């Protein structure tokens, strides 16, 4: 796991994640939703094998959008190896409250269906009656290579809206970028997101290409381009 995971994850939570990893080979997609007493959000943990092509996180955020679950915060990590594994934690709520037992079950069923490939995310959203926003109200976008040795960091601040994280992760995956770590926070109708990404070849975006990528991603996030 990335060093940031080891440094920022309590030991009891690491032990819990190890339990999920032990179930992964047999179950393929391991899910857990926990309502901590006193919190106004539910803690969703997703453990599954990564996919060769970008887009796994986009599928997760799309399912949550389709289930009317708002993402308050997210931490996304990818474990390297012969078969890379993603271990994502998303703090979600519906109507400003923790998910009810019925809604939590619906979220888990939908995630398992989409992540196993039994149903495509576009098909799921259509069935849920969702029409994702074409773009976001972008306030700032910055790409940096100097804060990580392996990843380019895409720092985005935008106005919050329903489906925001789905639109952003979809844009990154459609651009051919793998999201290895994501840190998401929302406050006062604004969202500040950091995506740690690599290109299809597995490295940082070349330094001399960052201005072109910034222009491209700006257009993608704003819905001015689909490629």
Cβ atoms of residues 107 and 69 within 8 Å: yes
For 57-97, how does the pLDDT look when each residue is reduced to its tens digit (9 = 90+)?
999 999 999 999 988 888 888 888 888 899 999 999 999 89
pTM score, two decimals? Answer: 0.87
φ/ψ (deg, to 5) at 21: -65, -35
Contact 31, 108 (CB under 8 A): yes
Closest among 83, 73, 48, 51 to 182, alpha carbons compared: 73
pLDDT in tens, 157-186: 999 888 899 999 999 999 999 988 888 888
Of 99-113, 123-137, 175-189, minimum mean pLDDT range: 175-189
How far apart, in whole angstroms, are the C-alpha atoms of residue 189 and residue 184?
13
Domains annotated on the chain, with CATH: 3-127 (3.30.70.260), 138-221 (3.30.70.260)
């Amino acid at each position: 796991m990335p060093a940031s995971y080891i440094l920022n994850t309590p030991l009891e939570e690491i032990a819990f994640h190890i339990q999920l990893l032990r179930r992964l080979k047999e179950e393929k997609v391991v899910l857990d939703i926990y309502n901590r007493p006193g919190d106004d959000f539910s803690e969703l943990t997703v453990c599954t094998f990564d996919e060769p092509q970008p887009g796994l996180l986009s599928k997760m955020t799309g399912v949550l959008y389709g289930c009317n679950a708002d993402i308050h915060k997210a931490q996304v990590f990818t474990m390297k190896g012969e078969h890379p594994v993603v271990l994502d934690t998303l703090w979600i709520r519906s109507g400003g409250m923790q998910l009810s037992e019925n809604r939590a079950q619906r979220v888990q069923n939908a995630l398992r269906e989409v992540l196993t490939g039994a149903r495509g995310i576009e098909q799921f959203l259509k069935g849920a009656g969702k029409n994702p926003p074409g773009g976001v109200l972008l306030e700032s976008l910055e790409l940096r290579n100097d804060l990580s040795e392996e990843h380019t960091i895409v720092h985005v601040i935008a106005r919050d809206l329903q489906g925001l994280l789905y639109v952003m992760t979809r844009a990154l995956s459609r651009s051919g970028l793998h999201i290895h770590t994501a840190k998401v926070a929302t406050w006062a109708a604004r969202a500040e997101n950091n995506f740690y990404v690599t290109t299809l070849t597995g490295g940082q975006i070349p330094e001399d290409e960052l201005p072109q990528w910034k222009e491209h991603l700006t257009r993608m996030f704003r819905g001015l381009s689909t490629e």
